Structure 1
Amino acid sequence: MMSGGDLGPLPVVGERVRPRAVPGAPAGVMRRCVAVAVDLPVAVVVLLGPLLGLDRMLEAFAVPDDAVRTVWRVAVGVWPLAFVLGYSPVCVSRWGGTLGKRVLGMEVVRVRDGGRLGYGPAVLRHVTNLVANLVPVFLVPHVSAMTLSPKRQGFHDRAAGSAVIHRR
């Protein structure tokens, strides 16, 4: 006969009980951090690769220095902005998550009905997340909200009406 009725064996005093990752349950902060660790090398390659290629091209064609400075100013301004508006928002609105989230079995969904976010809410979510992570005053409450709230929603999830859940 099991102790605690049908609940199975009870944990020993002091033993940490870990919630099981079941489909539809809110994803934990550590799993989300690992997903970011998967996405960062992708971001570095996608951001720096074309810029390095541009540098080599400008050097190979012996472009005058004034033109090189102009091209670099435009490229360094436009390319990261295109990446910010492209990678995460497009992945979230089209496939439910970035490569890191998909590899780890998570998906970003609308809270109200469990559907996929549109592109606009996905951009809002991503930009809010960037601001919350880059501004120190917002970082601690942002991470605390993801850690302590029952739905594990940070500022970016609340702003977009989204949640990150387990898919498998």
Structure 2
Amino acid sequence: MNARPPVLANPGRRLLAVVIDVVIAVVALSVLSAAIGLVVTLGRPADNSPFYLTLLAAVAMVFLYSPLLTAVCGGTVGKLICGLTVVRVADGRRLSYGTALARHLAHLGMWAVPVLSQLDALFCLWDRPYRQCLHDKAVGTLVLRTRMPAPSFQPPYPPVAAHPPVAMNPPAGS
């Protein structure tokens, strides 16, 4: 049984995964906010409960989307689409919910500090041997590429250009 060695995720795939996850979060919160706005317009509530519902949904996404998906599936929707998974450096196993939450909160905390957010994102460009970002180093995780492109094979037949042209007109004597 020859298992392929793990391949570290490249920074481009990691960035694409983050972009996908941000788009998902923005769309989800926008749809929810629009639905709440519709309820406010039609129902005219006298308090601020619609605002608090949107805020509650945003807080729920912080504690559920990335940490829960990372613990259960090995990564967020963006990471899974990009063929990436997050594992522990110590043993290569999936993260517990607590570790996934700590990783996500470290990531969000670094986003709150402008210079630190850029340093966190760029750190995987020069980090060796694991290409970890700072939020990965903080909790001892790394991101692996789990889906490899299919190998390219030569076709078992000659290319189309190698075939002689087929005569379309029948001979004149037939």
Q: For the superposition of Structure 1 and Structure 2, which TM-score range results when normalised by the shorter chain?
A: 0.7 to 0.9
| TM score, norm. by length of structure 1 | 0.78
| TM score, norm. by length of structure 2 | 0.75
Alignment match, 2:126: 148
Specify which of 77, 81, 103 is matched with residue 103 of structure 1: 81
Task: Report deviation, 1:100.
Answer: 1.1
- Spell out, residue by residue over 1:84-124, the C-alpha distance to the aligned partner (whole angstroms, 9 max, x if none): 11111111001001111111111000111111101111111
- Spell out, residue by residue over 1:105-151, the C-alpha distance to the aligned partner (whole angstroms, 9 max, x if none): 11000111111101111111111112223311312431332111121
Gaps of 5+ in 1: 1-21
> 1:63 and 1:133, CA in 2 relative to 1: closer, same or farther beyond 3 A?
closer
Q: Which runs of 4+ in 1 moved over 6 A?
A: none
Partner Cα separation in structure 1 for residue 122 and residue 14 of structure 2? 14
Alignment match, 2:61: 83
Gaps of 5+ in 2: 148-174
Alignment match, 2:144: 165
How many residues of Structure 1 are paired with residues of Structure 2 in the alignment? Answer: 143
- Spell out, residue by residue over 1:4-28, the C-alpha distance to the aligned partner (whole angstroms, 9 max, x if none): xxxxxxxxxxxxxxxxxx8612211
Instruction: Indicate the structure whose relative CO is greater, using CA pairs within 8 Å and at least 6 residues apart.
Output: 1
Partner Cα separation in structure 1 for residue 25 and residue 55 of structure 2? 16
Partner Cα separation in structure 2 for residue 48 and residue 24 of structure 1? 38
Specify the structure having the higher radius of gyration (Cα): 2
